[in-house]
Amino acid sequence: MRARSAIPLSALGVVVFLLMWEMLAQSGIVPARLLPSPSAVPGAFLSEFRSGTWQTMVMASLSHYLMGLALGSFLGIAFGTAAALSPWWNAFQAWVVRMLRPIPAIAWIPFAIIWFGVSESAASFLISLTVFWINYYATFSAVRGVDKDLIELAHAFGQGGLVPRLFKVILPGALPGIMSGLRAGLGQGWMTVVAAELFGIPGVGMRMMEASGLLATHIVVLYMVTIALLYGVSDFLFMQVQNRVLSWQR
């Protein structure tokens, strides 16, 4: 299916989903407090926006999200590259990675609060943990998958040193895989944002918890939609950058 025909069909799917949701909510089968209708969201947005709450919570979440995303991505790419290029380093840290990788970021919440307090730094730490592992494995696989013939060709043309080979051959060759890891980290980072903020760190997640305690489910849905839109915008912008960076593939 062509992209031009896929866009209207996708939009139609969203419209049908919202209409079915609205019909279910308006039918009274489910109490409005348990399932607010989509039509209640614009009113909730206006109320939150006029009070300044929406802007404050979004900016707070964006602050530690971007910090954690940048830190986790950088460290994940750096460690993944090192493990892929150095057999002794890969062997040295392999069992440590296997021990730590299955532990979800939310399991570190008690330590994050003890180390950093209920602060943005704690949220950034948790987000960076989630993003780190995604980029670590994506980079490791991408660097390992670089064509060995390209590396030998670089040797033949005098690029025998590690640094020249790394920046002129290995990283450019692994870039598509690395970019895929970065894109996956964008979405996973937002999931961790909400989990981290549920424990009182200012942001979208904290506001959702406050609203749910008051059974203001229309506000909860508003911030769910906000997260979806923020991810959609960030993913769209990332794809524009990726298309430019990887234009040589076309």
Q: Which residue has the higher pLDDT, 197 or 73?
A: 73
Q: Is the pLDDT of residue 4 over 80?
A: no
Mean pLDDT of 37-60: 90
Q: Which domains does the chain have, with CATH numbers?
A: 42-249 (1.10.3720.10)
Banded model confidence at residue 7, pLDDT cuts 50, 70, 90: confident
pLDDT above 70: percentage of residues in the chain: 90
Mean pLDDT of 32-50: 86
Q: Are 117 and 59 in contact (CB under 8 A)?
A: no
pLDDT digits (tens, 9 = 90+) for 13-36: 888 888 888 888 888 787 777 788
Question: What is the C-alpha to C-alpha distance for residues 245 and 248, in angstroms, rounded to an integer?
Answer: 8
Residue 164, pLDDT score: 67
pLDDT digits (tens, 9 = 90+) for 208-223: 988 888 888 889 999 9
Residue 223, pLDDT score: 93
Residue 74, pLDDT score: 95
Q: Dump the DSSP string for 165-191.
A: HIIIIIHHHHHHHHHHHHHHHHHHHHH
Mean per-residue pLDDT of the chain? 86
Question: What is the C-alpha to C-alpha distance for residues 221 and 166, in angstroms, rounded to an integer?
Answer: 46
Q: Is the pLDDT of residue 159 over 60?
A: no
Compute and round to an integer the Cα radius of gyration of the chain: 22
Residue 250, pLDDT score: 61
